[in-house]
Structure 1
Amino acid sequence: MAMVLFLGSHAARAEPLKVGQPAPDFSLPDQNDKTHKLADYRGKWLVLYFYVKDDTPGCTEQACKFRDDIHQLTDLGAQVLGVSVDDSASHANFARKYNLPFPLLADSKGGTAARYDSLRGDGGMAKRNTFLIDPQGRIAKIYLSASTSRNSAEVIEDLKRLKGS
């Protein structure tokens, strides 16, 4: 059983997340101020990817790869959510600039990133980690320090394997 410690506005896990365990819950606004919760994605595969900052080179590459692969991902039954500590307005500009067809969640206090072991030590930015969550809400795959250029392709390969496609 994981213990959560509260340090100011950031929650830190006492032990790392593992494949097979329930994904930590979240409730965060997107670039259009619509709230998304983990429970909203029950029954679907979910790609929850944490990234450092809107409109930076690596994060833009990663987001655009997910954008370019969105039809393959949705054909496999997956939804994509990006998460960073940027606010909703920053996400709206980023999504508009690059025509991103998926929600970008504003974790401005870093609490969700911390629960997913994806908050940098200084608490100011998220780590580049991705979590593939199965339709039952369990972690199916963890990509630590995800590759900006390969993350989407890796998720697609793993989704096909996990689904037996």
Structure 2
Amino acid sequence: MVLYFYPKDDTPGCTTEACSFRDNINRLIAQDAVVLGVSLDSQKSHAEFAENHKLPFDLLADESGKVAKSYGALLDLKVFKYAKRHSFIINPQGHIAKIYRDVNPKQHVREVLQDLHSLQTQ
């Protein structure tokens, strides 16, 4: 599983990253990966974002930030909270196999595909 956290629906970097996952979904599926996106936006916001960009994977609404916090991906500025752009590859046993803390939205999927291949050939 590729679990990726992102700050906000329909912002430039988040749209770039989501569309990159969309554009590479067949390659990800070929590597037996499921993609899930997570932000603190509402389910309604996610539904509109997914529809506008024809995203073929689920977006999870973590409005409280509990999930993001549990992965160390929550930025809480007290007056404003959002998910940091962090991603995780989770293996079939449910263990985190790879952590990405410094994500470039334009290049991230390429890194994920390479790492999925490496992890599967170990």
Indicate the TM-score class for this superposition, using the shorter chain for normalisation: over 0.9
How far apart in 2 are the matches of 1:141 and 1:90? 28
Q: Which runs of 5 or more residues in structure 2 are unaligned?
A: none
Tell me the residue number matched to 1:50.
5
Tell me the residue number matched to 1:124.
81
Correspondence 1:79 to 2:39? no
Correspondence 1:140 to 2:117? no
| 1:14-93 matches, cutoff 5 A | 46-93=1-48
How far apart in 2 are the matches of 1:86 and 1:161? 33
The structure with the larger Rg is 1
| 1:8-19 matches, cutoff 5 A | none
TM-score, L = length of structure 1: 0.71
Question: What's the RMSD between the two structures over aligned residues?
Answer: 1.1
| 1:75-114 matches, cutoff 5 A | 75-114=30-69
Letter in 2 for 1:53: K
Q: Which runs of 5 or more residues in structure 1 are unaligned?
A: 1-45
Deviation sequence 1:76-98 (CA, Å, 0-9, x none): 00000000000000000000000
As a proportion of its length, which structure holds more helix?
A: 2
Tell me the residue number matched to 2:106.
149
How far apart in 2 are the matches of 1:67 and 1:134? 21
User: Helix, strand or coil: the match of 1:49?
Assistant: strand
Letter in 2 for 1:138: H
TM-score, L = length of structure 2: 0.96
Q: CA deviation at 1:108?
A: 0.3
Runs of 4+ in 1 over 3 A off after TM superposition: none
How far apart in 2 are the matches of 1:127 and 1:120? 6
How far apart in 2 are the matches of 1:164 and 1:109? 37
Equivalent residues, number = 120
Give the percent of matched residue pairs that are identical in Structure 1 and Structure 2: 51
Q: CA deviation at 1:146?
A: 1.1
